[in-house]
Structure 1
Amino acid sequence: MKTALFALFENWENDYQKAITDQIDLVCYAENLGFDEAWITEHHFNNFSVIPSPLTLVNYLLGKTKNIKIGTAGILLPYYNPIKLAEEIATIKAFDDNRFLYGIAKGAFAIYDKTFHTNALTNREVMFEANELIHKLLLEEQVNFKGKFFSCEDISIRPKIKDNFTTFLASESLEAIEKCAKDDFGLIGSLALSKEKMKEIFTNFQNFSPNKKLSFRVARGINIGFDKKEIEEETKKSADIFINSMRLSKQTNPTLAKLLTSEYIDIRNTIFDKNRILENSIYGTQKECIEQIKALKNEFDIEAILLKPLTTSTKRAKEVLNLYIKEVKPYV
């Protein structure tokens, strides 16, 4: 099982520059520890998770690091022009040495759809169609495309890339699982994804494609230490701040009452539920964390675990990542 960092670029000290530079430093620290991957999220209008432009960070981190793979978890495709995005990805792929991991998502906030003039009811469909067009533009010389949402004639983007690459879906929907089975996409599960839901994912994937193996990654909160009570308190505090920041980006919008469809409410009650995140996090003493990860590995075929330190400072996050590599990973 590969080890990855799940990077939300958290603004603990109400200092945007420090939030970004600290997280860049944490990615570099993870590489030095031997982490295989780092995944960057995308959030808009958020005072706490402050990266609305993940590809900017991907570009910088690929130049800043040498070995670790850098992924997006994920690019919110409904809010982009796919032709322009294909050009940006082509530029990255021209120098990335196959270290860029391309992850996409449909978006989950009412304020996003209000601002970018998109529709929650069609965002998943838009995401899949945009992704199809992006791959055609990247891999084919002359592209003609006419879909429900996008079209182009005789487009040939530059630079050209030589090899196909995997799409990772940051989703847990049945449609996403079916797409993974059909097109060999990878799947990324959220911090709140329960074991029961994971079982459903693997069962549904096998039903769609009995002879294939799902490339599955899952995000998990993590906190490791020597004093169990202190670790529990810090973990709960960190989870509280994270959840409140995610909910505020919904609740502070004046048009919230009109925008909150049942789909938005369902997302809020699952992904952004503190109890679900805590229930599915890895935290405690080294021994306890070893047991929790062993149980996860024994039950599921996980390609990589994306670790989000549930701490309240970069210093503590580094301590947790260091403890994981030295005191936990060798025993799992």
Structure 2
Amino acid sequence: MKFSIALAMERFSPDKPMQQVVNETLELVRMADAGGFETVWSAEHHTIEFTIAPNPFQILTWWGAHTERIRLGTATVVAPYWNPLRLAGEAALCDHLTGGRLEFGIARGAYQYEFDRMAGGIPQQEGVAYMQELLPAVQKLWAGDYAHEGKYYKFPLATSVPKPLQQPSPPIWVAARDPGTFDWAVRNGYNILSTPLSRPMAEVGILADKFNKAVSDHSNVARPRFMMLRRSCVYARPEEWEVPVRASIDYGRAFENLFQNIGTVTNGFPKAVPYETVANRSEYDPQAIRDNLLFGTPDEVIEKLLVYEAAGVDQFCLGLAFNLPIEVQKKSLDLFTREVMPVFAARERDAAKQRARAIA
């Protein structure tokens, strides 16, 4: 199992200067690069201060200029916000500007609040249909001249300029939680991005079952990669749990505002909705958060990660962006790099030796 990190430039108060946010995020990216993480992922969001990412390709190009080897992924571009020609060209140019390090992740979108402002108010659930029309069109534009006449997009003969540096394309990832999206993505050979959100650890197995069923149903297609993201914080002593748990609860209440479209947003700052209005209220219990999310000492985190490894997850993604103080994020990333990643690197080496002996 490999490891990646999802980061966002986030502000929860107008008192925090934007330039400080910029500098702190880049420091974490450079730590992940030096620490041997496989990928750093950037989201796309609009008009929201706690995820400042109006164009992930711009962010990835910036990160790429300050790193050496880490791959740079969109997790994710939101399909209904894009025209295929623009998306194909911007992604391909980013691939060139980062030396062929782009990982192309796409999703239908999460927040109805954004859909009301960026996609003409269409229901968020309709985003999957946009994605399933948009992504094949982008791939055909990367290949050469192509004209398109579909339900959502129409354009005469054109092509992507430039073409991607990675041929025939950067690795493609699709965000999935429902069985239909798993099936569509695997059938088309796309890698999978998924998340158990804040749900119990059993959700890891549920998502893995959806992935494995799609792989089994399309045995003629090479098995794609399977990534899973979870909010994460590693701390040296067990009693340090309170800071990340409180941050997760507060972040979750702001997330509910946007996800359910039930709160107010003032000058880009979502107001945390009252606890009584949140969905899945049991997931806000402090003990449940400690148990379900990737929170704990290095030993506790290793035990949790073994569940993901056993479920067939190829890449685990640390979600550090949930209003953790920067020093807590840096300490967490450092502990994970020094005390967790080497354990799984050793397991991978041992597995490779066992495979070699079996072949011999």
TM superposition score category, shorter chain reference: 0.7 to 0.9
Q: Cα distance 1:32–1:199, how it changes in 2: closer, same or farther (>3 A)?
A: closer
Which residue number in structure 1 is paired with residue 157 of structure 2?
154
Please list every run of 5 or more consecutive structure 2 residues that lacks an aligned counterpart in the other structure.
266-277, 345-360
Alignment of 1:68-87 (within 5 A): 68-87=70-89
Which stretches of structure 1, 4 residues or more, deviate above 6 A after TM superposition? Answer: none
Q: 1:215 aligns with which of 225, 231, 235?
A: 225
Q: CA offsets, 1:46-101, max 9 Å, x none?
A: 23222232121011111221200010110001011221121111211233332111
Equivalent pairs: percent with the same residue?
Answer: 20
Q: How far 1:281 sits from its partner (Å)?
A: 1.6
How far does residue 119 in structure 1 lie from its aligned partner after superposition?
A: 1.9
Measure, in 2, the Cα distance between the counterparts of 1:76 and 1:245: 20
SS at match of 2:97: coil
Aligned to 2:337: 325
SS of residue matched to 1:122: helix
**Aligned 1:23-102 pairs, distance under 5 A:** 23-102=25-104
Name structure 1 gaps, 5 residues minimum: 255-267
CA shift, 1:42, in A, is 2.0
Single out whichever of 128-137 and 46-55 deviates more from structure 2. 46-55
**CA–CA distance in structure 2, aligned partners of residues 53 and 274 of structure 1:** 31
Q: TM-score under structure 2 normalisation? A: 0.80
Q: What is the CA-CA distance between 1:174 and the residue it aligns to? A: 1.7
- The equivalent of 2:349 in structure 1 is none
Residue-by-residue CA offset, 1:93-139 (whole Å, 9 max, x unaligned): 23333211100111122222221215224211111111111111111
C-alpha deviation, 1:326, in angstroms: 1.0
Summarize the Cα distance change of 1:103–1:294 in structure 2 as closer, same or farther, 3 Å threshold.
same
For 1:213 and 1:67, how far apart are their aligned partners in 2?
25
For the pair 1:247 / 2:259, whether they are aligned, the reply is: no
Segment drifting more, 189-198 vs 316-325: 189-198
CA distance in 1: counterparts of 2:150 and 2:116, whole angstroms: 23
Q: Quick one: structure 1 residues 174 and 80, their matched pair in 2 at CA, closer, same or farther if it must change by over 3 Å?
A: same
**Counterpart in 2 of 1:305?**
316
Amino acid corresponding to residue 254 of structure 2 in structure 1: S
Across the two proteins, how many residue pairs are aligned to each other?
A: 316
Residue pair 1:180, 1:214 contacting (<8 A) in 2 also: no
**What is the match of residue 264 of structure 1?**
none
Change (3 A) 1:34 1:79: same
**Cα distance change of structure 1 residues 311 and 43 upon mapping to structure 2, 3 Å threshold:** closer
In the TM superposition, what whole-angstrom CA distance separates every residue of 1:255-306 from its partner, at most 9, and x where no partner exists?
A: xxxxxxxxxxxxx847x95467654322222221122212321x22211111
Given that 1:137 and 1:157 are in contact with CA atoms closer than 8 Å, whether structure 2 keeps it comes out as yes
Is 1:105 aligned to residue 144 of structure 2?
no
2:38 maps to a residue whose letter is: D
The 3-state SS of whatever aligns with 1:296 is helix
Which runs of structure 2 are paired with 1:228-239 in the superposition (5 Å)? Answer: 228-230=238-240, 232-239=241-248
The aligned residue for residue 174 of structure 2 is 169
- For residue 341 of structure 2, what is the amino acid of its counterpart? K
Query: Per the alignment, do residues 311 and 92 of structure 1 end up closer, same or farther by CA in structure 2, a change over 3 Å counting?
Result: closer
**Does residue 7 in structure 1 map to residue 7 in structure 2?**
yes
Partner amino acid, structure 2, of 1:300: A
2:231 aligned counterpart, secondary structure: strand
> Partner of 2:141 in structure 1?
137
Residues 45 and 53 in structure 2, CA contact (< 8 A), matched pair in contact too: yes
Other structure's SS at 2:9 match: coil
TM-score, length of structure 1 as denominator length: 0.87
CA distance in 2, matches of 1:203, 1:90: 31
Retained in 2: the 8 A contact 1:223–1:284? yes
Alignment partners' CA distance in 1, 2:40 and 2:164: 23
Give distance in 1, aligned partners of 2:164 and 2:45. 28
After superposition, the Cα gap between the structure-2 partners of 1:197 and 1:269, relative to the gap in structure 1 and judged at 3 Å, is farther
The two structures, once aligned, show a CA RMSD in angstroms of 2.5
- Measured in 2, the distance between the counterparts of 1:253 and 1:10 equals 18
Q: Which residue is 2:274 aligned to?
A: none
More divergent stretch after superposition (130-139 vs 310-319) = 310-319
